[in-house]
Structure formats: structure tokens, C-alpha cells
Amino acid sequence: MSQSLKIVSVLGTRPEIIKLSPLLPRLPEVCDRSIIVHSGQHYSYEMEAQFFEELHLPSSDYSLKAGAEGRGAGEQTALMLARLEPILQAEQPALVIVQGDTNTTLAGALVAAKLGLPVLHLEAGCRSFNRAMPEEINRVMVDHISHILLAPDHTAMKNLLNEGCDRHAALHLVGSTAIEACQRCAEFALHRPLLSQLDKNLRPGGYLAVTLHRAENTTPQVLPGLVQTLNQLAADWPIVFPVHPRTQLAIRQNGLHLDSRIITIPPLGYLDMLSLVYQAQALLTDSGGLQEEAAALNTPVLVLREETEWSYLVEAGKTVLVGNAYPQTIAAARAALQPTALETMRAATFDTCPDVTQAILNIIRAFLHLGATPHAAL
């Protein structure tokens, strides 16, 4: 192994930290130095630092401090570009790794590609086909400037092929690191004393878990209908709702009120979140990562969106789209929460890839040491 082989991983938000968590500690197996650059896109303890601690991740080597406070997406991305470029120029990594679809993902891939450095995109090929989503723009851009594209599922792989990405990048179906991380942590999660700490009357299987944070769901047009939906469901179900900072702000700014029966709490740590979802009767969410995690934990998921990047789970019957428009959403949610509908979702099965992290390491090793990437079966 050459002494100068470095890999730079660029991350900056809660889902990136969690989804890179199985890979980061193992990168030293395939390079001389693994360097982590944190963009600061998420910058509070509860949205990022606690995940480094909880998942025992190596701390970051560089911080771009490009947090979102008072900044638009353009300014934030520009700051990341300007601050990341000299770091990559100085380090000259053999590979830059980015994950997902955030402004951090885009900035990391763009700077690296412009410097002629190879980019590996983890979770490539996910599409909502909704260009109004900022994340959709990020992921399409990143897939078209990266050199190695690692798809989490068959649908994502098909999307990459349909867009002709195989003409400029090596494509591999490796599976989902979100599911791998979740399966690894599920056992620990079950032993958390979360439910009794929240409310002594909460019982496994006896409540709904909720998360909500997408930009399109926190607008003055959409959020009131979603709050109304949750308030109506609270008449029939105990609900636990860890509230994302963006949603907290939007609820306040729009003068909305959640029913007092809904247990609202600050964002949870990863193990507590898995524990909450594992023991819930069902999860209502617009989160990307949680759709896969809940499916892996066999908790039925009602997706509070009109479309999803994880359509393979909808097709498998593991999750159901209930939309975000009142009153359709409350009607769809009530139907999905019928005992027989929930049982059908729990009984549904879906394909997962084994040994995701090992497959990624094999691809990286082949690329760095042989200058090639073995093609996995499509």
C-alpha cells in the first residue's frame, strides 16, 4: 500500500453521520489515512455531535462551520465550496466520499470533481422525481459528477441506468448502510428505558411515533393540515413526536397548536429513536432514513408525502403513502391504521443486501489499489 493513500469523507447532517457510521471506522482498512470533514450544516449537539458520541465515530479532522443560521441554501453551499477547496487541495486524497442528498453532499462532490479528484457517492440513484425538493436537485447533480455510484436498492440502480450514469461512473448495487446500522443497533435500542421515561402509561405497541421535517411539509400551506391530522389521530392514539428544530420553528411562526395529548419532545439520540420506532404500533413520517429503519424493524410506516425515494418499500407493502394534504391524509391514515392493514404491512417482506459495508470496502480497495471497480451483479 502506498504511504500517501488518503480518503476524505465529507458529511454534515444527522442522516449522513448515521448512514456513514458503519463505514467510517473501517476505512483505515483500505487506506493510510481516513480524514473526516464536517461541514457544520447541522450544528447543534442534538442534531449532530451526540451521534458521533453514540456511534463511537472518530471525530472530524476539519470543520467548515457553514451552519444554516440565517443563511440561504445558496450561501451555505457557497461557503462550503470555498472552505473545502483548500483542504482538498492540501490533502490530495485518492478518493472523496459523500453520502445522500444534502447541500454538504453537493458541495463535497462539486469541489472534488472540479479538482479532478474521484468521488464516491453512497446512496446514489434515489429519486423522488420531484424537482421542487432541494434534495432531488442535489442528488441528481451529485450522481452526474461522481465516479463511483453505490445504489441502496434495485429501483435506485434502475434510475442510474435510465439516466445513463453508467457512461461516466462505475455503478454498484451494495444495499443500504442505514439498514445495516439499524440492524446492528436494534438490540441495544430495545434496552433503552425511553417509554417509561416519557410517560408511565406508554406501552409497546400502544402508541404512534411521528417525525416531520421536510421543507415541503413545513410550509404555511401544508403544515396546518398535517397538524390537524395529528390532532385528530390523538383522539384515538397516544402519539410521541420528537420535533425537528425546523418544524418547531414553523409551528410557532404559523401560530399552530398541537393537541396537548401529543407527547412532544426534542429530537432523540439514535438509539432512543430506534427504540421509539421499534416499539410503536406504527410510524408516521416524512423522513427518508426512518422509512428504511422502520421497515427493517418491522414497524408499519405511513409516509406523510405524495411520493418517496424508497418506492421499493411501498411496492413491497412495507410502507404506505398517505400524502400531506388535509383531509385526504387523515382518511388515508385512518385506513392504514386499521388492525388488518397494519397486520398486512407487518407480514410483508422485502429484499435487503447482506454485508453492505464489506461490499463497499471491496469496491474502494479495488479502485485504490487496482484502479478498477469490480462490477456487482445488477
| Marked catalytic residue, from 213, 244, 257, 375 | 213
Minimum CB distance to ligand UD1, residue 289 (Å): 3
Q: Count helices and strands (H / E) in the chain.
A: 16, 13
All three cell numbers of 276: 421509539
Backbone phi, psi, residue 209, to 5°: -100, 145
Toward ligand UD1, which CB reaches closer, 111 or 274? 274
Distances (CA, A) of 72 to 2, 41, 68, 309: 42, 12, 7, 25
Alpha-carbon gap, residue 304 to 179, rounded angstroms: 21
Where do we find the cell 410502507?
A: 319
Toward ligand UD1, which CB reaches closer, 18 or 234? 18
Minimum CB distance to ligand UD1, residue 307 (Å): 11
Minimum CB distance to ligand UD1, residue 347 (Å): 24
* Amino acid letter, residue 66: A
Backbone phi, psi, residue 132, to 5°: -75, -15
Alpha-carbon gap, residue 100 to 85, rounded angstroms: 20
Alpha-carbon gap, residue 116 to 175, rounded angstroms: 27
Toward ligand UD1, which CB reaches closer, 83 or 213? 213
Toward ligand UD1, which CB reaches closer, 118 or 242? 242
Alpha-carbon gap, residue 299 to 302, rounded angstroms: 10
Minimum CB distance to ligand UD1, residue 271 (Å): 8
Minimum CB distance to ligand UD1, residue 116 (Å): 26
Backbone phi, psi, residue 154, to 5°: -60, -40
Minimum CB distance to ligand UD1, residue 251 (Å): 16
Toward ligand UD1, which CB reaches closer, 97 or 290? 290
CA angle 70, 76, 78 (to 5 degrees): 140
Let me know: does 109 contact 145? Beta carbons within 8 Å: yes
Backbone phi, psi, residue 319, to 5°: -135, 160
Which residue, judged by CB position, is nearest to ligand UD1 in the bound state? Answer: 288
Q: Which residues contact 125 (CB under 8 A, 6 or more apart)?
A: 143, 149, 151, 152, 155, 156, 157, 158, 159, 160, 165
Toward ligand UD1, which CB reaches closer, 247 or 373? 247
Is 213 one of the catalytic residues? yes
Q: Which residues bind ligand UD1 (CB under 6 A)?
A: 13-15, 18, 100-102, 135, 211, 213, 242, 267-268, 270, 273, 287-290, 293, 309
Active site residues: 213
